[in-house]
Chains A and B, each alone.
Chain A
Amino acid sequence: MRNRSSFLRLILGLLILACSTIVYAQNTIPKPINSIEKVGAILYDAALDNPNYYLCDERNIMEYYQVNPKFKEGHNSVKLYFKAATKGLKFSEKINGLLTLRFVINCRGEIGRVRSFTIDANYQSICLNKAKIAVISDHIKQMPNWTPGNYKEKEYDAYKMISFKIINGVITEIIP
């Protein structure tokens, strides 16, 4: 019985090995997924998105941690940009949590498909004033000079996110 079990495990293992021609464990290098849908995918929405926004490969938009798109010098430049851009922006005093904006930086360094998610201090979804989120969203769309994500001299479309920590309605920290 035990031998049979070991044999089946061996067969299963070999099948998995045979089917997976590429090592999937490494998550910080780009690997094609050949699908528009995945966790965190932002699909085109005619009501929100620019129809002329260009993507090199819609079915293989990488993640920021795979191809490292960069704004000027890096995280410090993102923080500096939003420190000025969000100065004076206040939400309701009751708001404590994290606003995250996720977007695409295409292979030309242009920004599109911005979406937002907010959680409170207990990690529950909450809604914020849409007009105020739009202010931040517009600032993201206007960010110049993104270096597109790249790996081995190839440029990629990539998802990126920037979070804003809110305490008593005030943005206290920018988390790039």
Chain B
Amino acid sequence: MRIFKIIGITISSIVVLVSFLITLRYFNQSPRGQAEFWYQMIELFRQGSIEQQWCLEKSIQSDPTFHRAYMEKSVAFNKRGHYHEGFKLLNKAVEISPVIYLGYRGYVKLYMLHDFKGAIDDFLRLDPLTPEVTDAPWGEDIYHVIGLSYQQLGELDSAKIYYDRSIQKKTALLGEEWVDVKTFFYYGLVELALGNYQASIDLFDKAIAYSTIFSEAYYYRGLAYQKLNNPIAACANFQESYAYFSQGYAMSNPYYEVPHQIYLSTIENSIDSVCLKKQ
């Protein structure tokens, strides 16, 4: 029994000592240090939980210029449709550190809220702030997302300018194989919408050359062939698209519908209307 008592006292003493040292350390820190302390605490809790939001609020209170806390606090609100609260926080993060957060805010506007003009404003504001590097908002080339925003807005000529820039810059820097295959794909969709069917096929060819499982590129290449009155090629592409889509090779995102996302029924309808007619 005595041994348990000794172990208990020892553990309790260590806990008290560590707690004391942490408290001492906390109060000896600068406001930024205290803000970072509370920010580290969020790792203990679920995103969007009351506890995590409380830690983030403490972080902001400790240092109202600590942008990471504003941004992190905004995330759960924006993921859950409370955009007024989410953007109040995210705007504050952008105000403090535009270089870090303009790209993320543009990404949220583009993909989640479909505020394409707002997204373009953010991306175009970010681009000249870092002249020495090409930005990658949330991992995508900045000229790609500007092109996509213009495309979604229906300004197709502007979209082409930025897709071209994305391809040219990446090719010059690292080689064409480093260009995002989605840039070729969305550029192909722009050409398809403009009625430039052969140009769109050439772009889908590139997308497929670099990603042979790109079911969406096969599908839209099929549509381009259909427009060119080539049902045999159209059908073959729809079949390829169907095969890869059925294996799970499809663009999707847990948070939002991807621009120009396709569905199994979309492909099936095209197969029914083109392949059956062809026979």
The verdict on A102 contacting B81 (CB below 8 Å), with A31-B46, A33-B46, A39-B48 known, is yes
Indicate if the CB atoms of B254 and A12 lie closer than 8 Å: no
Question: Is residue B277 within 8 Å, beta carbon to beta carbon, of the partner chain?
Answer: no
Indicate if the CB atoms of B82 and A39 lie closer than 8 Å: yes
The verdict on A163 contacting B81 (CB below 8 Å), with A8-B22, A75-B261 known, is yes
A-B contacts, CB under 8 A, total: 104
Counting contact residues on chain B (CB < 8 A from A), the size range is 35 or more
**A16, A31, A119, A161: which contacts B80 (Cβ < 8 A)?**
A161
Query: In the bound complex, how far is the Cα of B8 from the Cα of A18, in angstroms?
Result: 18
Residues of A126-164 contacting chain B, CB below 8 A? 159, 161, 163
Indicate if the CB atoms of B84 and A76 lie closer than 8 Å: no
Indicate if the CB atoms of B81 and A11 lie closer than 8 Å: no
A31 (CB) vs chain B CBs: closest residue: B46
Q: Which residues of B contact A100 (CB under 8 A)?
A: 81, 83
Indicate if the CB atoms of A39 and B80 lie closer than 8 Å: yes
Q: Mark A1-42, 1 if CB is under 8 A from B, else 0.
A: 000010010011001100110001101100101010111100
Query: In the bound complex, how far is the Cα of B1 from the Cα of A30, in angstroms?
Result: 43
Q: Mark B254-266, 1 if CB is under 8 A from A, else 0.
A: 1111000101111
Counting chain B CB atoms within 10 Å of each CB, the highest count among A5, A27, A165, A176 belongs to A27
Q: Which residues of A contact B47 (CB under 8 A)?
A: 24, 27
Q: Mark A58-72, 1 if CB is under 8 A from B, else 0.
A: 000001111010000
**A19, A37, A121, A165: which contacts B50 (Cβ < 8 A)?**
A37
Q: How far is the CB of A72 from chain B (nearest CB, A)?
A: 9
Q: Which residues of B contact A117 (CB under 8 A)?
A: 81-84
Question: Is residue A175 within 8 Å, beta carbon to beta carbon, of the partner chain?
Answer: yes
Give residues in B with beta carbon < 8 Å to A: 18, 21-22, 25, 40-41, 43-50, 53, 76-77, 79-84, 87-88, 91, 112-115, 254-257, 261, 263-266
28 A-B pairs with C-beta separation under 8 A: A8-B21, A11-B22, A16-B44, A24-B46, A24-B47, A33-B46, A38-B49, A38-B50, A39-B77, A40-B48, A40-B77, A40-B81, A63-B79, A73-B264, A76-B261, A100-B81, A100-B83, A117-B81, A119-B84, A123-B87, A123-B88, A124-B84, A125-B84, A161-B81, A165-B114, A175-B112, A175-B256, A176-B257
Beyond A40-B48, A65-B254, 12 additional contacts (C-beta under 8 Å) are A8-B25, A12-B22, A16-B41, A19-B44, A27-B47, A31-B46, A33-B49, A38-B48, A39-B82, A40-B77, A64-B254, A74-B263
